[in-house]
Structure 1
């Protein structure tokens, strides 16, 4: 069974965690209104709808991240690779006015996403049970990755602000195959490489701020572990917090992030209200970006580093997390 359209015939959505996949995010059918209850025009509905996707892979001693963003007034794409052994951070970032060259189809399961600018091409293409990631850019940059066994994602739709909503589809701990070439250097996936997918869209709050944690790795016994935690967004009586063990999704309670925003490189501590997550994070590097263009603004810090601590499964079994690598994020956005 699938949900054909997210928005019903009366222009409404049903908030909550969704057990079935959604074929189409028919956002133009939503009854979007002003805070004084005046119906918004079709133009406003089109231009206030935001979409973004982030995919990552954690390989033997390296981490790769890539994002595609469509904010209508601007489109952007970035990708980077951090090598823990050498401390080398390689990154590329691009912006395009009016989101020219940016395409994100509003279909969480089968929609394609791409960003093109000049000789740079970035794509996320769905296939049965996964996503294919490709990047081609000058300087001998070629990325070909396949995130597989994406069979139990967390799907959530919840209110945002007074009259908006956010839909997200997330997976973590997915097996990854492929390689990354950057000039004359090559990083290859192995049997322990794991990845994550974040597919999000909606009529988001005009000003939004959040913290986010993502972990995808393999435990010493061979089990796959994935984790997604967030605070500050998607929390209207429900959360996007989840743990994946061997591909099976388990929901978690609200998350709390403790860190010093103004002390770059300081450690983080993240826990959940149900006591099932207690992790320390030591950052190794960060990708930072500040934009203040009046209408649009972003203060973005995405850290790459190492997690240590414990997570607990639904059966009460405590799992030691030692030296697994992943991401932490601190982000303010005005869109």
Structure 2
């Protein structure tokens, strides 16, 4: 079963969210238009409105991830480059922004997101013909990458967020990638690699927790989440088509997230084993907020299929990430 075309907006004329999974971009998430029981006051929205723009870049040699996050009352950004041959991070960046000044996250996935801080600038920009550009200049760490246009539909998921109000996300499948990464005196080519992005925008609970997995080639990819958004964003990209997936199960050791993971869906459309090559970790405990985060980088092997009647497509060492994340924000 493929997904219906995305609506023009995520809220209908009566103020109700158009909950569901769709294929295609939507331009705008006007949560102030929500009607009861989803409506919230302006002050509540200020502290619970969370937006982030995340980009992953993968080649046989390198995996990079970059994120710009608007928490409403403050902002943050992170980026890293992981050398897959060396099995270690070769560049990493993390910085908070000044409230209202450090970051501007786009109003939709086709917009521009920017982070500025002392000695740092990150920009995710939309180009003509559904292409995108990522530029990062953080001292010794630099990225200049272009990616797109999509070879398969973009996912839109809209629905209830546990403990919050409403959430929506736009996620791409694999996108053609080219460009370069600079890590000190060493450079890496991104040409012939694969990019993907995650744009998320919602009214979330004070405490939010999730597990996540994502990996993409140009022919095959998936997005899986278990936590505050249930199965609503679970999807499979296969041969240019986008298919919904059922509830995801993450079997891993929280005390040793670098051990192998087993991930499957309860609709019998995906069963994968994840072998870890390395990880980015971060733990913060501030007065207003806290975060426990680990994002292992590695490869997925197993099988996927578009329906229970379809033959299984074998997946072999597909580069991607898993994640275990708790935020009090």
TM-score by length of 2: 0.90
Distance 1:2 1:250 in 2: 14
State the Cα deviation string for residues 135-161 of structure 1 (Å, max 9, x = none): 01212x321112213250110100113
- Displacement of 1:278: 1.1
Q: Which residue of structure 1 aligns with residue 306 of structure 2? A: 313
Q: State yes or no: 1:289 paired with 2:289.
A: no
SS in 2 for 1:172: coil
Q: Is the contact between residue 223 and residue 235 of structure 2 (CA under 8 Å) also seen in structure 1?
A: yes
The count of residues paired between Structure 1 and Structure 2 equals 321
Q: Is the contact between residue 149 and residue 247 of structure 1 (CA under 8 Å) also seen in structure 2?
A: no
- Displacement of 1:245: 2.2
Q: Which residue of structure 2 aligns with residue 185 of structure 1? A: 186
Q: State yes or no: 1:21 paired with 2:14.
A: no
Q: Which residue of structure 1 aligns with residue 44 of structure 2? A: 44
Distance 2:37 2:101 in 1: 27
SS in 2 for 1:126: strand
Q: Is the contact between residue 80 and residue 92 of structure 1 (CA under 8 Å) also seen in structure 2?
A: yes
What is the aligned counterpart of 2:254 among 261, 271, 281?
261
Which residues of 2 match residues 1-335 of structure 1 at below 5 A?
3-31=7-35, 40-89=40-89, 90-109=91-110, 111-127=111-127, 128-139=129-140, 141-150=141-150, 151-161=152-162, 164-191=165-192, 193-217=193-217, 224-235=219-230, 239-314=232-307, 316-335=310-329
State the Cα deviation string for residues 26-64 of structure 1 (Å, max 9, x = none): 122224779xxxx74323323321101111011122111
Q: Is the contact between residue 32 and residue 163 of structure 1 (CA under 8 Å) also seen in structure 2?
A: no
| Structure 1, unpaired ranges of 5+ | 219-223
| Structure 2, unpaired ranges of 5+ | none
- Displacement of 1:205: 2.1
State the Cα deviation string for residues 62-87 of structure 1 (Å, max 9, x = none): 11111110002221111111111122
Distance of aligned partners of 1:239 and 1:180 in 2 relative to their CA distance in 1, 3 Å threshold: same
State the Cα deviation string for residues 192-220 of structure 1 (Å, max 9, x = none): x11211000110122211110011136xx
Distance of aligned partners of 1:163 and 1:302 in 2 relative to their CA distance in 1, 3 Å threshold: closer
Give the structure, 1 or 2, with the largest relative contact order (CA under 8 Å, sep 6 or more).
2
Distance of aligned partners of 1:99 and 1:279 in 2 relative to their CA distance in 1, 3 Å threshold: farther
Distance 1:10 1:42 in 2: 19
C-alpha RMSD of matched pairs (Å)? 2.1
- Displacement of 1:177: 1.3
Q: Is the contact between residue 310 and residue 319 of structure 1 (CA under 8 Å) also seen in structure 2?
A: yes
Q: Is the contact between residue 54 and residue 65 of structure 1 (CA under 8 Å) also seen in structure 2?
A: yes
Q: Is the contact between residue 60 and residue 190 of structure 1 (CA under 8 Å) also seen in structure 2?
A: no
Distance of aligned partners of 1:19 and 1:304 in 2 relative to their CA distance in 1, 3 Å threshold: closer
Q: Is the contact between residue 104 and residue 112 of structure 1 (CA under 8 Å) also seen in structure 2?
A: yes
Distance 2:301 2:196 in 1: 19
Distance 1:102 1:79 in 2: 14
Distance of aligned partners of 1:217 and 1:3 in 2 relative to their CA distance in 1, 3 Å threshold: closer
